[in-house]
Structure 1
């Protein structure tokens, strides 16, 4: 095919390079070229090569540019790793967040593993040759025979109206309330009922010949979901795609998604970009979890990427959880999603205990009210008891023993804490050991604890219940499951193991401390943490919330998380806080921020807060704007970033040196308020 032109996306984070570049395709590369393949192209000079992806092929006669183009240097591989639908998604998501498409593609396409890729290409070539042979040898009767149907049969979604499966089949958008209980699988493993629900939805979709993407926040949820899928589907139909995999295994799983057969993709936040064939369903479990917030530019939340992909493909979208996020509530209220509740599902027996104190000194030390103390003693006679605490470590906060001033790191100013008994205090932010610490207020050199973490709570409860098995589960102690025998399980929020048959009692401690955190989402986060822990209780087991009162406590005890989300959204509308409006943080030098704010000044729907000084001599401004103005705001801010990044200055010998970008834009920043 002479006169072929390849449009290439350069693999570069520089914003000024975030557009296609045209290259002519030499005759010797025409047979190996294709949309989505990796290529090497000359850039800035004939000898300087850079990597890229082919995002389009056009005939030279149809090209807008009539001059001479540089030629592609080589095709790295014939594997079409950048699926056209994923490229379209990357472009739209990047434009929405004011970022570059190559940053999104870097999340979507894992690093190349040569041996894995060669094996995959050889296997696909063998399959293609076999199919061609069978087609040649087929008779007319064989050609007229109906195509083989899927071996997977659709199933009902247990505990929900029959209309749920039908709604998902036709591509509706659903906000799904989970059933808060545990279920035993045929192999003896216990998982949350939500995992069964997601597996049944994926089975129904696979039976119709379509793929599903099931996104979960962390490996604990993923282990439950994989167990539920293993009980319902053959292993070859499920593809795991997450950051914990070895590079070779992850790349092999990614290549499996490129095959034409439908699959069920399970993974964390990056799995939302999987190139699954005939995608019919996207599910995001517990979409309010902060682990879904991408830490790499352009910081796109998994839920936002899912919303864009659903709109792009018209597939079904399900946001499921024990507690509804405020973002999901907004989508329901504007009519973009539909809420679906289970049929007469039992709810946990939540008992708020407020700030009651116990007469038992050990109970007082462990921060356990009298009611919760009695329930824990009774439950521990028959089975495991879960105790959720706010923080890991032994003493997460310490203070000067002389003046009671909170102890701060002399390097970064962060709070000091103790990870285990007898350990030297260290900073909870930068990790620096406070070996030569002295109080800035009174020059004292001794500490006292002002808080108890998971380790200290485990020690205190171990003394309170001599002979009881104590299990610690936090970031440093990975425990996924516990048995049905009596045990005290001390876990930080989000690290609660699954107990066989459910916990005979659940104690939610440090409620007042959790609610005291300075964050716009503190109430929503606490309700989600407590709801997820309450869902691990055995039927009828008490769930005792200590040290918390008010709307969050009321929503948990009545199991009306949707009402709390609606109230929270109404308050944010009155204050023009996200998600009632969108917001972006603009951080950088004073001149850079001023240039960005000047660019969006003509947009009437944009409102600027600040700028205010932040660390390292920079300033930060917050821009609030209506959803309808999002495209305009993102376009203007991105244009400023490109201008700043493109500027050059003369070096000491007259050479041109690029100025580092002095502006950082983050849309929908979860930490700005």
Structure 2
């Protein structure tokens, strides 16, 4: 570049040529020449600590490092570590032309007296806000999460720090309230180790527990709130992460009832961007020391964290969809260790990961004795599919005879819950003659009926098919292979014409229902709580085969978790509460439900996975992408030094998505053939595996070696 070109670039606000050269060398995979560190000062630059080390908002793994910028004197006071800034980045601004570079956002992570960069530093373009939102503690947590999941720090910071809203930053946060009084143990007295756990929180210790909560419509929310209140009374902060807004609202209400307003905040998407940012700022500023929220709250900057709690860690909503896809349980475990805080993992069920925490000695079990469990659990019975012959009403409602009679008798005492695995009307149709699935002629998606007498519609591309004919046998009559919540509600309405029927699921989720007799048809996780605190008189768990028959390593665990969630809302068997599960009674999850023994089921699953070397006994990473990209990344990882005893399973081809089908996270583009390989290492080598894969990915990206493969550490689905 000539001197004239350099001057024209600087007049346009371009990155100085020396730093552009460094970026080019980094992207091309060649190291810049070593030189003696140098402090660059200018007449209008800050006199003290004139260099700002900036994390630029570029979630590219091969640019996962800090960049140095000069601090103008006019920005010296505001340009402090943790604040948001705008900087010039990349080779886009050159010779007055914009080619995709220019101003981007970033965070100052450090002010320095000098820089390792030997050229002329570009100045900060703007301080967006003097609010220090990226604290050193939060930065350290984000760095740990990025390293664990082989991702970039910028991607994790985007998850941890909400988008800026100017108005809340200009408003003062409320003054911190004094520590409240410790509450009574309440429901924790039902657990032999419950009072001791609360006492450890009060003593500012860091107990770790896997809590198997007793069934009941609202007991767990009050117990979790009491644990948080006890931590606040000890002068420390508390954080609880829930799977959805409905569960978070229950804990929010319980904590408000215990402590009143102003001692905690609720961080959920339902609050809206500006109110949520205002609450987040109150936590960051130390005005509030307790947070109840959904997945994103796992990064909430709680001061002096004393308790990190998660409810229902097996719920898929705890796993972030955006890169690098961290799980809330793992983030809270990291925080508990780093910040020396207590850890509480609670649920009505028990995941294999929770069982592994107990088996390894990291956490202690916190559960009631068998006599207490039997006193509060409902009676659980099984019913076989197709057992409707003796009752015409049961046959019309598509219910086994036992389930129909149980619902009829329970409706005299209160509401009855009916859990259906799928929403919609008839989401899966087959030919009545040959059982061939009914598919769209345009995209091969599944045809579904939106209601009785409606035209068939594709579930992927939404095209209507008014005149369907089976391509295999020429038949024109269809029958349902899977029935959704709305079809089930319609059939129950015909079988019980005098009883109101309500549905809950999808975009219409009920928070609560009246305690009077009614039929509530809900999908898993959308079961409303009966008002009055008495619970449902009975629950019918239909189509168990749909949950147990999924080709997934977690199918049994997930089915049991969903059943326990619904059954926990039913009255105790001493008050007539009954649960009917329509599934094969010989299946292990069904037997665990009958005995109400989720921990035993999880321990047996853990033992089997130990024999097979499946997670969580081992650590695993999934590499997906075009075949050549997967093969190249695995080869580069081997060259980079995969951990000893690493096993590469596959690659295997993934299903090709037809055009029009919705694409989920990690799915290939429609029509493209992708593959997936699993890399497995013994537990304890997970950090080395993530680092090696990241190094291999960085090398391929900087050298621009063909298509990109995607890495996901600890994938939820390995089936």
Q: Decide whether the 8 Å contact of 2:383 with 2:580 is kept in 1.
A: no
Distance 1:624 1:543 in 2: 40
Alignment of 1:229-240 (within 5 A): 229-240=255-266
Is structure 2 residue 169 aligned with structure 1 residue 117? Answer: yes
What per-residue deviation string (whole Å, max 9, x for no partner) do you get for residues 407-441 of structure 1? Answer: 12345444332232233333445545445654332
Is structure 2 residue 217 aligned with structure 1 residue 217? Answer: no
Number of residue equivalences: 629
Distance 2:186 2:81 in 1: 39
What per-residue deviation string (whole Å, max 9, x for no partner) do you get for residues 568-627 of structure 1? Answer: 111111111121212111112223212221233343221111112233132221111122
- Tell me which residue corresponds to 1:506: 539
2:380 to 351, 374, 378: 351
- Tell me which residue corresponds to 2:112: 58
Q: Secondary structure at the match of 1:282?
A: strand
2:435 to 379, 390, 404: 404
After TM superposition, the score normalised by the length of structure 2 is 0.83
- Tell me which residue corresponds to 1:318: 344
- Tell me which residue corresponds to 1:170: 205
Q: Decide whether the 8 Å contact of 1:282 with 1:318 is kept in 2.
A: yes
- Tell me which residue corresponds to 1:534: 567
Q: Secondary structure at the match of 2:278?
A: helix
- Which is further off, 640-649 or 512-521? 640-649
Q: Decide whether the 8 Å contact of 2:282 with 2:288 is kept in 1.
A: no
- Which is further off, 520-529 or 41-50? 41-50
- Tell me which residue corresponds to 2:43: none
Q: Structure 1 residues 622 and 281 mapped into 2: Cα distance closer, same or farther (>3 Å)?
A: same
Give 1:24 shift: 2.3
1:13 to 45, 52, 59: 59
Q: Over the residues paired in the alignment, what is the CA RMSD in angstroms? A: 2.2
Distance 2:200 2:257 in 1: 24
- Tell me which residue corresponds to 2:711: 665
Is structure 2 residue 580 aligned with structure 1 residue 554? Answer: no
Q: Structure 1 residues 367 and 300 mapped into 2: Cα distance closer, same or farther (>3 Å)?
A: same
Structure 1: any 5+ residue segments left out of the alignment?
132-147, 183-191, 650-658
Distance 1:474 1:507 in 2: 16
Distance 1:347 1:605 in 2: 47
- Tell me which residue corresponds to 1:44: 90
Distance 1:436 1:375 in 2: 41
Is structure 2 residue 185 aligned with structure 1 residue 156? Answer: yes
Q: Decide whether the 8 Å contact of 1:41 with 1:74 is kept in 2.
A: yes
1:636 to 692, 703, 710: 692
Give 1:105 shift: 0.9
Q: Structure 1 residues 648 and 524 mapped into 2: Cα distance closer, same or farther (>3 Å)?
A: closer
- Tell me which residue corresponds to 2:23: none
What per-residue deviation string (whole Å, max 9, x for no partner) do you get for residues 424-466 of structure 1? Answer: 3334455454456543323545432222211111111111112
Q: Decide whether the 8 Å contact of 2:379 with 2:572 is kept in 1.
A: no
Distance 1:434 1:100 in 2: 46
Give 1:394 shift: 1.2
What per-residue deviation string (whole Å, max 9, x for no partner) do you get for residues 232-286 of structure 1? Answer: 1222112111223311112112111112234221111111001111111111101
Is structure 2 residue 150 aligned with structure 1 residue 88? Answer: no
Distance 1:635 1:431 in 2: 43
Distance 1:24 1:193 in 2: 56
- Tell me which residue corresponds to 1:189: none
- Tell me which residue corresponds to 1:487: 518
Give 1:361 shift: 2.5
Q: Structure 1 residues 422 and 211 mapped into 2: Cα distance closer, same or farther (>3 Å)?
A: farther
Alignment of 1:7-406 (within 5 A): 7-44=53-90, 48-60=102-114, 63-65=115-117, 67-120=119-172, 150-158=179-187, 159-160=190-191, 161-168=194-201, 169-182=204-217, 192-342=218-368, 344-345=372-373, 346-355=375-384, 357-358=387-388, 359-406=390-437
Q: Secondary structure at the match of 1:237?
A: coil
Q: Structure 1 residues 671 and 428 mapped into 2: Cα distance closer, same or farther (>3 Å)?
A: farther
Distance 1:579 1:117 in 2: 42
Q: Secondary structure at the match of 1:42?
A: strand
Is structure 2 residue 673 aligned with structure 1 residue 617? Answer: yes
Distance 1:24 1:246 in 2: 36
- Which is further off, 211-220 or 595-604? 595-604
Distance 1:50 1:216 in 2: 34
- Tell me which residue corresponds to 1:573: 610
1:522 to 552, 555, 571: 555
After TM superposition, the score normalised by the length of structure 1 is 0.89
Q: Secondary structure at the match of 1:106?
A: helix
Q: Structure 1 residues 339 and 385 mapped into 2: Cα distance closer, same or farther (>3 Å)?
A: same
Q: Secondary structure at the match of 1:599?
A: helix
Distance 1:289 1:617 in 2: 30
Give 1:179 shift: 1.8
Give 1:521 shift: 0.5
Q: Decide whether the 8 Å contact of 1:468 with 1:486 is kept in 2.
A: yes
Distance 2:700 2:537 in 1: 60
Structure 2: any 5+ residue segments left out of the alignment?
1-46, 95-101, 657-671
Distance 1:382 1:633 in 2: 57
Q: Decide whether the 8 Å contact of 2:197 with 2:207 is kept in 1.
A: no
Q: Decide whether the 8 Å contact of 1:350 with 1:545 is kept in 2.
A: no
Give 1:67 shift: 4.9
Distance 1:314 1:267 in 2: 21
Q: Secondary structure at the match of 1:162?
A: helix
